[in-house]
A = this chain, B = another copy of it.
Amino acid sequence: MHLADEAWPELEAYFEEESLAIVPLGSTEQHGPHLPEGTDHLIAEAFADEAAARTGYLRTPTVTVGVSPHHRQFPGTAWVDAPVFRDYVESYVRNLAYHGIDRVVFVNAHGGNVQHLREVGRRLRDDDVAYAVEWMWDESIPDLVDEVFAHNGPHAGPKETALIQHLHPDLVHEDRLEEARDGGAIDPEASIRTRNGSRTFYDCVENSSNGAFGDQTDASAEKGAELFDAASDQLEKLCEWLAARDWDELRAPERVTA
């Protein structure tokens, strides 16, 4: 069920039975010349909907804007500063906890959010408020992703392209896939600026002129569907595992004594 679609009596019934919430988070940022800027939050939302449908757990509204200053040179990238993002997510979850939520799955589709969600998750656990896990779809099926695509790309690559082709085909500029590949960084390892073990870039544009990585022409809606189903299986299992835990299993460990 989707929190935004329900009236409060239905939600009361949910909180009497369950204490898990699925919170989708993404970004609104450039995804190459061929994908919509909402790519990450559209993907997160689709997985959250699917998991809610499969499991019956509650999903909340999507956090559509994340930590994306590294994409700002490309027109339209929206973002909030990192401290603001953390405070926003923390306040959001603390207030969900008022209703009895004590475990959260962050269905996150933007790599730039990960460390911030982990930092917030730590505070929430350390304060004994809630236990939150951060989940990214592609990290749940790394072997399959590698198997399906030759040139993956961490951002705006074939895996994200395939997912949007599957989920929102009207939002893909199919006629720009070659342009995305040729004007971008087909081989991320070769493109990403590092030197003597240090990253010497802060912004995406320093590594890819058009903001895309990998070979987008390798993507298809069929591959997208396959990936979506496979990752949804993982998310479903994660939700069920988390819901089945006793709260004491999830709390911060005690101090070590030798």
Contacts and interface: CB of A to CB of B under 8 A. Distances in A.
A171 B75 contact: no
A11 B37 contact: yes
B31 A252 contact: no
Contact of A196 (B72, B91, B234): B234
* Assembly stoichiometry (copies): 6
Interface string A14-34: 110000000000001011111
A41 interface: yes
Interface in A109-162: 115, 118-119, 121-122, 125-126, 133-142
Interface string A71-92: 0111111111111100110011
A129 to B, nearest CB: 13
B5 A38 contact: yes
A258 interface: yes
Given A78-B96, A88-B88, A95-B72, A198 B7 contact: no
A61 B79 CA distance: 11
| Interface bin, chain A | 35 or more
A238 B193 CA distance: 13
A192 B211 CA distance: 33
Given A122-B202, A255-B73, A78 B60 contact: yes
A78 B92 contact: yes
A234 B197 contact: yes
A36 interface: yes
Interface of A: 2-9, 11-12, 14-15, 28, 30-38, 41-42, 60-62, 64-65, 69-70, 72-84, 87-88, 91-92, 95-96, 98-99, 105, 115, 118-119, 121-122, 125-126, 133-142, 171, 173, 176, 195-200, 202-203, 205-206, 209, 211, 231, 234-235, 237-238, 241, 252-258
Given A6-B76, A12-B258, A195-B237, 4 more contacts: A3-B38, A4-B41, A11-B37, A118-B199
14 contacts: A3-B38, A4-B28, A8-B211, A14-B76, A28-B61, A69-B122, A79-B95, A80-B88, A83-B83, A122-B202, A133-B199, A202-B252, A203-B252, A205-B253
9 smallest beta-carbon distances between A and B, as pairs: A140-B197, A4-B38, A11-B76, A61-B64, A12-B75, A196-B238, A196-B234, A80-B91, A139-B197
